[in-house]
Amino acid sequence: MTDFLAQHAEILITLVKIALLLFIVLTVNAYLTWFERKVVAHMQSRWGPHRVGPHGLLQPLADGAKFLLKEDPTPAGVDKFTYFLAPLMALALALTSIAILPFGPDPIRLFGHDIYLGIVDLNIGILALFAITALSVYGVALAGWSSNSKYPLLGGLRSSAQMVSYELALTMSVVGVLLMAGSFSLRDIINAQAAHPERGILGWNIFPQILGFLCFFTAAIAETNRVPFDLPEAESELVAGFHTEYASFKFAMFFIAEYTSMITVSSLCAIMFFGGWLSPFPASWTFTHYLPSAILIPFGLWVIWDGIHYETIFGRVILPGLGTVLTVIGVVLVAFPFINEFIQGPFWLLGKILFFLFVYVWMRGTLPRFRYDQLMSFGWKLLLPVSLANVVITASVILLRAH
């Protein structure tokens, strides 16, 4: 038995990593819905979910239970195979794209094996992500067509036309970063930004590639069908667009696919333009390594204080417990510098991902949506020429520098 384990250790480690990452991503998805509802609500001067559990923290559990227990009817006249395939395809592709992202620079040393944070490091990392984005058009188009109904068909066609149009601008806007890094691999892109660690934030790709970042972020919002580009699934326009005829669990699959692709896009923005796991402070400022603890300990103490004064008994028990856990983690990080050094990379990467997710949710609460013809002309007539210009300018500067 242990012989078998020793021989096939790589496969077993990868399987365990995949299971762990799936669990983490699905939990983050669930709490992302909570985060979105809370932030949009507070922007609109209302509470958001605050009944189910302290501060509404158990709302995702309630939503999950609803999705699992609701009736799942299949409309008459649908093309059965395609109707069942579409949400499956959308979810599978969205979850596969998480496997390519790296989450930290240093490996963990366990049982004599180096375990890198991240499932795999492909040397065509970015291209593989674009391949998955290209295939995810099918989830939407097939869902719209197979529903045998007018609104989903229109929503599906519009949405897939939008996704195909913005895919061009998406891939072009990244070429500048690829030229600067010289490789498709995501770890190499971050390492190219780490070439001058004393520059800190000035070494990141955002400053030379500001045009590329703006094009990428805009095109990515259009790819994930979020506000302001969510006409194909807007309630007042097309009932619910391509997922009108989908009920509980299949709708949940589309939902999870959309939020997972939001997480993937935020990670890509952080990795490609904002230095990934690099700290914005220069490497010589080692006191900034205590920043995670400096955030966790006061936050944990505030959660304890808030929990003591909470209205329900359940909240008065859970919140102080949560706060204690956070404070203890903060203290452990101060006490053990070895763990603190290890946690720096993932801390900054997760912080940047959370920031971009907040920007996504912020835009949802703030911006009105584009009309369809405005959307298409924006993608073809503005974004594509600007991203092409970015490629030409970047290539010219690199060529001139090389002389």
Partner 1 sequence: MNAPLIIFFVLAAMAILGAISLILQSHPIHSALSLIVVMVALAGLYLLMGAEFVAAVQIIVYGGAIMVLFVFVIMLLNAGVEERTNVSKLAGWAGLPLAIALMGFLAAAVARSTDRVQAAAQTGATAPTKALAGLLFQEFVYPFELTSFLILVAIIGAIVLAQREKEKIRP
192 binding partner 1? (CB under 8 A): no
Stretch near partner 1 under the rule CB under 8 A, chosen from 134-142, 239-247, 288-296, 386-394: 134-142
Q: How far is the CB of 139 from partner 1 (least distance, A)?
A: 12
Q: Distance between CA 117 and CA 100 in Å, rounded?
A: 11
**137 is a contact residue toward partner 1 (CB under 8 A):** yes
Between 179 and 234, CB nearer to partner 1: 179
110 φ, ψ to 5°? -140, 125
Decide: is 154 part of the binding site for partner 1 (CB under 8 A).
Answer: no
Give whichever of 59 and 160 is closer to partner 1, judged by the CB atom. 160
Out of 134, 283, 331, 334, name the contact with partner 1 by CB under 8 A: 134
Interatomic CA distance for residues 9 and 5, integer angstroms? 5
Task: Give least dist CB 127 to partner 1, A.
Answer: 4
CB nearer partner 1, residue 142 or residue 253:
142
Q: Residues 328-367 vs partner 1: string with x where CB under 8 A?
A: ----------------------------------------
Region binding partner 1 by CB under 8 A among candidate stretches 13-21, 123-131, 204-212, 266-274 = 123-131
Asked if residue 303 binds partner 1 (CB under 8 A), the reply is: no
Decide whether 132 or 221 has the Cβ nearer to partner 1: 132
Name the minimum Å distance from CB 135 to partner 1: 6
Task: State yes or no: residue 13 binds partner 1 (CB under 8 A).
Answer: no
Stretch that binds partner 1, among 130-138, 287-295, 325-333, 370-378 (CB under 8 A): 130-138
Tell me the C-alpha distance between 168 and 383, whole Å.
9
Is 79 or 306 the residue whose CB approaches partner 1 more closely? 79
Q: Which residues of 245-276 are buried (b: 16+ CB within 10 A; e: fewer)?
A: bbeeebbbbbbbbbbbbbbbbbbbbbbbbbbb
CB 235 → partner 1: shortest distance, Å? Answer: 23
Task: Decide: is 138 part of the binding site for partner 1 (CB under 8 A).
Answer: yes
> Which one of 82, 149, 191, 340 is in contact with partner 1 (CB under 8 A)?
82
Does the protein bind partner 1 through residue 164 (CB under 8 A)?
Answer: yes
Please report, as a single letter, which amino acid is at residue 285. W
The site that binds partner 1 (CB under 8 A) totals a number of residues, namely: 26
Distance CA 255, CA 307 (A): 32
Query: Residues interacting with partner 1, by CB under 8 A?
Result: 79, 81-82, 85, 123-124, 127-128, 130-131, 133-135, 137-138, 141-142, 145, 153, 157, 160-161, 164, 167, 171, 184
